[in-house]
């Protein structure tokens, strides 16, 4: 911990002259790792680190950062200075009152005129209600704390607040070339939103594992999208079994480490993803999505994080997000990608779906590109893609 990545300039390595503002405008390339490294440096310098979550889609990343910083402290029995502490703050900036509460709480943490803040998955876009409130938080802290050190990551470079100095992170730090090739089309198409990748100058040790492809096609498959399909869930489960997930072993080449259920993300963008919804008496009022039922049929232990679950049992989803962030329970996570922003897994299964609020009028190509940018990039080792055939009379009328 505390090692500054070599792609940052010398001016970013020196933190003796605050304020220092940092903003990564790239998505899913190791930016959370950079925040953890910087937070570790601050801790070992004796500073308290404030990890701030301002919205539900930052919960998992913030919990993971706080957890990893805590582990870094415990792993160093003889730090050169008395280390600082990690403080995790949770807010919901859909509520205006939470902005003032966040400012009040953070200003109370100022020590010797300094404040050290990490803000992951920070969206400042005016297209959301909470984006301008993130901007307000940064501006008010900058105005009130001359010694503010604030690093924010996951920011589109078209929405950077004036208080932040941009430092693009364009080197993919985490995934193999085989996964990068699946993400690259989305980067190419996201003109004006995401910078292209740059060469790290260090050759990759290998191309990575071949991408496994399944198809949402055939008589047993139902629904327009794989997330609706029980058979897709069964086939995904069978493939995970063949990879050795949950068996105490691993069939991944050159991987002696066993694959656990907790090493797997099954990701979709469908707003309809859900587990069984139950009433107060425990009766099922709405059945789980088809892919979830298929996984259950094959005996996979799953944790489902979907929009419908959030609406019906927010307390449970908050608990499960924490569980997923620290990989506490050995379960496969089936999730909308909003709930795991900033997290990665060794095995990622991309299960296409449809978001009724955002995908209306979008082509299948554009939906696919968003899946690649926001979900495929969660993978570090083995990627599994469930392909959707083009719309035909046969596929569009299947039920």
Mean pLDDT computed over 42-55: 94
* pLDDT reported for residue 2: 29
* pLDDT reported for residue 190: 63
Helix (H, G, I), strand (E, B) or coil at 236: helix
- Cα 100 from chain centre: 26
What percentage of the chain carries pLDDT values higher than 90? 47
Mean pLDDT computed over 323-341: 93
Q: Of the segments 167-171, 294-298, 358-362, which one has the largest average pLDDT value?
A: 294-298
How do residues 342-384 score in pLDDT, each as one tens digit? 899 999 999 999 887 777 777 777 788 778 878 888 888 999 9
* pLDDT reported for residue 323: 93
Residue 17 has pLDDT above 50, yes or no: no
* pLDDT reported for residue 205: 61
Which of 363 and 329 is assigned the larger pLDDT?
329
Question: How confident is residue 213, by pLDDT bands cut at 50, 70 and 90?
Answer: very high
Residue 8 has pLDDT above 50, yes or no: no
What domains lie within the chain, and their CATH numbers?
Answer: 10-159 (3.40.50), 177-396 (3.40.50.300)
Burial of 230 (0-12, 13-18, 19+ CB in 10 A): buried
Residue 16 has pLDDT above 60, yes or no: no
Question: How confident is residue 172, by pLDDT bands cut at 50, 70 and 90?
Answer: low
Residue 170 has pLDDT above 50, yes or no: yes
Mean confidence (pLDDT) of the chain: 83
Mean pLDDT computed over 273-299: 93
Question: How confident is residue 34, by pLDDT bands cut at 50, 70 and 90?
Answer: confident
Strand partners, 128: none
Write a three-state SS string for the chain. CCCCCCCCCHHHHCCCCCCEEEEECCCCCCHHHHHHHHHHHHHHCCCCEEEEECCHHHHHHHHHHHHHHHHHHHHCCCCCCCCCCEEEEECCCCCHHHHHHHHHHHHCCCECCEEEEEECCCCCCCCCCCHHHHHHHHHHHHHHCCEEEEEEECCCHHHCCCCCCECCCCCCCCCCHHHHHHHHHHHHHCCCCCCCCCCCCCCCCCCCCCCEEEECCCCCCCCCCHHHCHHHHHHHHHHHHHCCCCCCCCCCCCCCCCCCHHHEEEEECCCCCCCCEECCCCCEEECCCHHHHHHHHCCCCEEEECHHHHHHCHHHHHHHHHHHHCCCCCCEEEEEHHHHCCCCEEEEEECCCCCCCCCCCCCHHHHHHHHHHHCHHHEEEEEEEEECCCCCHHHHCCC
How do residues 76-128 score in pLDDT, each as one tens digit? 666 667 889 999 999 999 999 999 999 999 999 999 999 999 999 888 888 78
């Amino acid at each position: 911990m505390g090692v500054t990545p070599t792609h940052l300039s010398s001016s970013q390595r020196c933190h003796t002259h605050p304020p220092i503002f940092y903003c990564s405008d790239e998505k899913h390339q190791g930016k959370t790792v950079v925040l953890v490294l910087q937070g570790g440096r601050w801790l070992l310098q004796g500073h308290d680190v404030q990890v701030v979550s301002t919205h539900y889609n930052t919960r998992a990343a913030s919990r993971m950062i706080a957890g990893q910083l805590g582990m870094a402290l415990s792993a160093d029995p003889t730090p050169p200075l008395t280390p600082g502490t990690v403080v995790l703050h949770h807010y919901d900036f859909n509520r205006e009152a939470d902005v003032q509460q966040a400012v009040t709480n953070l200003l109370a943490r100022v020590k010797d005129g300094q404040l050290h803040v990490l803000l992951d998955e920070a969206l400042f876009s005016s297209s959301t209600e909470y984006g301008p409130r993130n901007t307000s938080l940064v501006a008010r802290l900058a105005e009130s704390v001359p010694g503010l050190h604030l690093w924010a990551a996951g920011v589109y470079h078209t929405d950077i607040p004036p208080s932040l100095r941009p430092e693009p992170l364009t080197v993919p730090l985490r995934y193999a070339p085989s996964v990068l090739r699946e993400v690259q089309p989305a980067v190419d198409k996201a003109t004006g939103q995401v910078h292209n990748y740059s060469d790290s100058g260090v050759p990759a040790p290998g191309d990575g594992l071949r991408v496994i492809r399944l198809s949402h096609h055939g008589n047993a498959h139902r629904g327009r999208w794989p997330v609706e399909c029980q058979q897709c869930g069964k086939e995904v489960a069978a493939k995970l079994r063949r990879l050795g997930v949950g068996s105490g072993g691993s069939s991944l080449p050159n991987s002696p480490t066993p694959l656990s259920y907790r090493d797997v993300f099954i990701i979709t963008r469908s707003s309809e993803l859900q587990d069984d919804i139950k009433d107060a008496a425990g009766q099922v009022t709405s059945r789980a999505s088809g892919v979830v039922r298929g996984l259950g049929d094959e005996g996979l232990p799953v944790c489902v994080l979907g929009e419908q679950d959030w609406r019906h049992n927010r307390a449970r989803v908050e608990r499960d997000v924490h569980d997923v962030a620290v990989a506490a329970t050995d379960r496969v996570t089936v999730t909308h990608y909003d709930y795991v922003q900033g997290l990665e897994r060794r095995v990622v299964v991309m299960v296409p779906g449809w978001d009724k609020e955002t995908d209306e009028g979008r082509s299948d190509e554009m939906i696919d590109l968003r899946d690649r940018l926001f979900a495929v990039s969660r993978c570090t080792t083995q990627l599994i893609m469930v392909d959707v055939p083009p719309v035909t009379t046969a596929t569009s009328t299947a039920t």
